[in-house]
Amino acid sequence: MNQKPPPVDRVAASRAAVAARRARAAVKARIASGAARPLDVLAASEDRDSAASSLRVTQFLRSIPHIGVTKTDRILNDLGIAPVKRLGGLGRNQRTKLAEFLDQWEKSSPDSPRVVVLAGPTAVGKGTVSQYIRDNYPQVHISVSATTRKPRPGEVEGKDYYFVDDSEFDRLIAEDELLEHATVHNSYRYGTPRGPILERLSEQQPVLLEIDLQGARQVKEQMPEARMVFLLPPSWEELVNRLVGRGTESPEEQERRLQTAKVELAAQDEFDARVVNDSVPQAAQQIVRLMGFREDLR
């Protein structure tokens, strides 16, 4: 005997559809306004009854600030996710890939801190990586420090450092012209001129400071929004090789620098991010991404 299906309550169904649409719109609005983190919304979508679960991945991505139609298409293509998929219907692999993408996006979003402090032990390659960034990412301003040490062969006044004597360095401190300053390796004084940094920041240009641990701590105190990056060598042996191979310090100075290096390496957990300088271009790219640039997606 054929049983009749129960009558559809059209009014109730349409009310439920309206409520679901409103709930999805509310989720999108919270993402767009920054009130909800996209990663948290993705996590919430694992609950099949949640509004997040019924959100299409396309709508979800589009509600994230700075992700438009073209970027959404590119991201979905890169992640191998069909535009019609709903968050709740993502497979485990797709969910993981999307979460990884969001994590990266969050770290490098345009709202990321515009001041990045690059520190790390002597001879790890801070100067080399900074030079690579200067040459290849002209949008980044690299701060030029003042120092009381003498120029090395090839170093240029105003490009590598402002080479000053002790009385000029005292004046810079007295007139509050330095954002931070420190005596490094128990020998010479180094400091970051404040004026150029503030000027660049007011023009929305990101700024990279390549300074020692003491200076990094001072900047963090004054600019808590600064992103702190620690550059690591592939190994201690490689660090020693780089220092000795550079050949710019006497054996006594090398020994002093290696002592400081041990103290600096022990402080690496104070930093927001760690980058291993195995390859200069790759280390530079990671640092630039931490400054908010995503050349691949913008």
Ligand X SMILES: Nc1ncnc2c1ncn2[C@@H]1O[C@H](COP(=O)(O)OP(=O)(O)OP(=O)(O)O)[C@@H](O)[C@H]1O
**Binding residue ranges for ATP:** 120-127
Q: State the Cα–Cα distance between residues 42 and 220, nearest whole angstrom.
A: 32
**DSSP SS3 for 23:** helix
Residue type, 114: R
Q: Which is nearer to ligand LQESDW3C, 59 or 277 (CB)?
A: 277
Please tell me whether residue 127 binds ligand X under the rule CB under 6 A. Answer: yes
Alpha carbon distances (Å) from 3 to 8, 10, 215, 264? 15, 20, 80, 78
Q: How far is the CB of 194 from ligand X (least distance, A)?
A: 22
- Check if the beta carbon of residue 217 is closer than 8 Å to that of residue 182: no
C-alpha of 290 from chain center: 2
Q: How far is the CB of 194 from ligand LQESDW3C (least distance, A)?
A: 11
Helix axes 280-290, 126-136, angle to 10 degrees: 70
> 143-182 mask for ligand LQESDW3C (x: CB under 6 A)?
--x---x------------------------------x-x
The total number of residues shown for the chain amounts to: 298
Instruction: Indicate which single residue of 140, 184, 258, 291 sits in contact with ligand LQESDW3C (rule: CB under 6 A).
Output: 184
Kindly report the number of other CB atoms within 10 A of residue 175's CB atom: 8
Q: State the Cα–Cα distance between residues 205 and 160, nearest whole angstrom.
A: 20
Please tell me whether residue 212 binds ligand LQESDW3C under the rule CB under 6 A. Answer: yes
Q: Which does 277 bind (CB under 5 to 8 A by kind): ligand X, ligand LQESDW3C, none?
A: ligand X
Q: How far is the CB of 252 from ligand X (least distance, A)?
A: 15
Q: How far is the CB of 75 from ligand X (least distance, A)?
A: 31
Instruction: Indicate which single residue of 117, 210, 223, 271 sits in contact with ligand LQESDW3C (rule: CB under 6 A).
Output: 210
**Rg of the chain's alpha carbons, rounded to an integer?**
26
Q: How far is the CB of 107 from ligand LQESDW3C (least distance, A)?
A: 23
- Check if the beta carbon of residue 148 is closer than 8 Å to that of residue 187: no
Of 185, 182, 180, whose CA–CA distance to 197 is shortest? 180
> 236-265 mask for ligand X (x: CB under 6 A)?
------x--xx-------------------
By CB under 6 A, name the binding residues for ligand LQESDW3C.
122, 126, 145, 149, 180, 182, 184, 190-192, 210-212, 214-215
By CB under 6 A, name the binding residues for ligand X.
122-128, 242, 245-246, 277-280
